[in-house]
């Protein structure tokens, strides 16, 4: 049975760096526990199922995988993309999309100017830092399977919902 995917987001031009940086300043956790990883991962799965999005979802904290799910239509390649995007967050402490956008804003690409192995690092949208107030970046939540801007927006939307519901972000 074939399902038609109804995208929630319309394709748009890359958001300005200021908007991407503002997301990172705003989406900060008071804490991030094993239960938080489960709740956030479950929210991402619920949203993906509602949209029939063919994604894989991953949450890492301090080098440990706390959550992983692969939905129908995803493939093993999505796990490789997750690892590559997550490494960018771990290295730069910023979302994989923001890191790639910073390079594009300078008229270059991440691949050209970072000098990092593209088989290990991908500055494509979909991985967002788990930043804890007073601590800093401790992990990443990553989605792979949609176009990169949609992956990024999907993670940001879930983080906004999660932080509002569980940690009182407004």
pLDDT in tens, 20-68: 999 999 999 999 999 999 999 999 999 999 999 999 999 999 999 999 9
> C-alpha distances in angstroms, 100 versus 15, 86, 94?
12, 13, 10
CA 103 and chain centroid, separation? 18
**pTM confidence score:** 0.90
Q: Which two tokens stand for residue 32?
A: 């991030």
Q: What residue has token string 């879930």?
A: 158
Distance CA 3, CA 5 (A): 6
- What pLDDT sits at residue 8? 53
Residue 89 contacts residue 95 (beta carbons within 8 Å): yes
């Amino acid at each position: 049975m074939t399902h038609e995917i109804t995208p929630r987001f319309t394709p748009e031009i890359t958001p300005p760096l200021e908007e991407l940086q503002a997301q990172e300043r705003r989406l900060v956790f008071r804490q991030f526990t094993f239960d938080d990883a489960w709740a956030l991962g479950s929210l991402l799965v619920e949203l993906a199922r509602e949209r029939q999005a063919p994604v894989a979802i991953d949450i890492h904290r301090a080098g440990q995988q706390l959550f992983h799910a692969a939905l129908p239509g995803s493939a093993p390649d999505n796990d490789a993309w997750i690892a590559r995007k997550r490494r960018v967050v771990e290295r730069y402490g910023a979302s994989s999309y923001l890191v790639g956008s910073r390079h594009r804003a300078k008229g270059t690409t991440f691949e050209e100017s970072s000098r990092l192995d593209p088989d290990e690092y991908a500055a494509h949208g979909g991985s967002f830092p788990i930043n804890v107030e007073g601590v800093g970046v401790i992990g990443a939540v990553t989605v792979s399977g949609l176009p990169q801007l949609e992956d990024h927006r999907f993670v940001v939307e879930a983080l906004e919902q999660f932080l509002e519901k569980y940690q009182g972000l407004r």
